[in-house]
Amino acid sequence: MKADPVGVRTGTFYLDGDRAAAEGAIAAGCRFFAGYPITPSTECAEHISERFPEVGGIFIQMEDEIASITAIIGAAWGGARSMTVTSGPGVSLMMENIGLAAMLETPCVVANVQRGGPSTGLPTMVGQADVMQARWGSHGDYEIIAYSPQSPQEAFDFTVKAFNMAEKYRTPVMVLLDECVGHMVEKVVIPPADAIEVEPRRLTDAAKGEYLPYAYGDDLVPDMAEAGMGYRFHVTGLTHDERGYPEMSVRCQDWLVPRLVAKIRQSADDIVEFDEENADGADVVVVSYGISARVSRMAIDLAREEGIEVGFFRLRTIWPFPEKRIAELAKKIKAFVVVEINLGQIFYEVERCARGQCETLLSPHAGGGVHDPEDILKVIEKGAKAK
């Protein structure tokens, strides 16, 4: 399905990442937005509030982040593509209902423009310390899909993808911007509507009275019904059977929750995206994402000047994690160097996938700024000396 031209503002723009994400959402068909002001994500909400009246969207500023996430889940069941945007403290508040979205299998998009934390932290300054929260933030077992753009252009592109994946797998999808990408202004090219693929909602065509909200096929993703279509279905955050009825039993839990996880995991190859450069044959592979991926490439250039064989691995999606490829590379290289603006999060994920077959080193940053390329270089040099 192609994008609705009504929402696509084709052209070349000079936009920040927040506004580019907003344009991506509108291009992908988002027509319901609920949000609550929080730096550094607010520009996205402001932009949508300006654009929506002309494209037929509903913008509402809710009383808090909990209301915002819950409203977008409700809107999804009312038939809209919906989104909210926030930052660290807001994501923390939203977490319970991100779990609800996962449990009800609600397509929706949550953008987190990461800032320095914990707590109020550094509202106007960059951080990347919410990546594990994105994966594990809500209680219980579930999987999530998360994108990490490194530029305003990707903020647009990845937000479109986020909507598509949300529909395809009926799951909340996160766009993990960071403050630097969110606030940075750069050239953004928005293609014509007929060049933007939009995933249609998986609506059921079951006869009335025969629809089972959580019956599924090989792809493990149930077809959806929206309120008002006449199916008179029930959904609940309780553990439920294929009718959507609550059933508090080990048997039902075992029927439901492993599938919620498996529907994402078994399609990881379809979802996972990464960029790789000279990783094969390298001694050291730098793993990074978001704004840190850009900075890392400066360090890689410096290392190559020193004659070190350095490869580069950039996560476009952070979740699901590209386990297979990291495990393969681990067999061939001396060390991974993980560059991220936190004190070690994706680092542990890389280390887990490397299974001790190579060194995994961290180039940390507590947040508020980006790495000094020279600091990354030092870690690369250390990695090159690993056995």
Is residue 338 close enough to count as binding other proteins by CB under 8 A?
A: no
Is residue 22 close enough to count as binding other proteins by CB under 8 A?
A: no
**In sequence order, which residues have a C-beta less than 8 Å from that of residue 189 and are 6 or more positions away?**
11, 12, 13, 153
With respect to other proteins, which residue has the nearer C-beta, 295 or 358? 295
Is residue 89 close enough to count as binding other proteins by CB under 8 A?
A: no
Taking the C-alpha atoms of residue 213 and residue 65, their distance in angstroms, rounded to an integer, is: 28
Selected binder of other proteins within 37, 120, 136, 187 (CB under 8 A): 187
Q: Which of 188, 224, 136 lies closest to 24 in space, CA to CA? A: 188
CA distances in angstroms from 86 to 175, 178, 268, listed in the order given: 10, 11, 26
Is residue 119 close enough to count as binding other proteins by CB under 8 A?
A: no
> Least distance to other proteins from the beta carbon of 295, Å?
6
Is residue 63 close enough to count as binding other proteins by CB under 8 A?
A: yes
Strand partners, 11: 190
Residue 274 carries which side chain, given as an amino acid letter? F
Is residue 2 close enough to count as binding other proteins by CB under 8 A?
A: no
Task: At 173, list the tokens.
Answer: 């999808």
Is residue 121 close enough to count as binding other proteins by CB under 8 A?
A: no
Is residue 323 close enough to count as binding other proteins by CB under 8 A?
A: no
> Least distance to other proteins from the beta carbon of 260, Å?
17
- The CB-based long-range contact list for 254-260 (8 Å cut-off, 24+ gap) reads 256/214, 257/140, 257/141, 257/142, 259/216, 259/220, 260/102, 260/103, 260/105, 260/141, 260/142, 260/143
Task: At 238, list the tokens.
Answer: 């309780």
> Least distance to other proteins from the beta carbon of 345, Å?
21
Selected binder of other proteins within 49, 121, 193, 226 (CB under 8 A): 226
> Least distance to other proteins from the beta carbon of 303, Å?
14
Strand partners, 84: 110
With respect to other proteins, which residue has the nearer C-beta, 278 or 357? 278
**Which residues in the 250-309 window bind other proteins by CB under 8 A?**
291, 294-295, 297-298
Is residue 70 close enough to count as binding other proteins by CB under 8 A?
A: yes
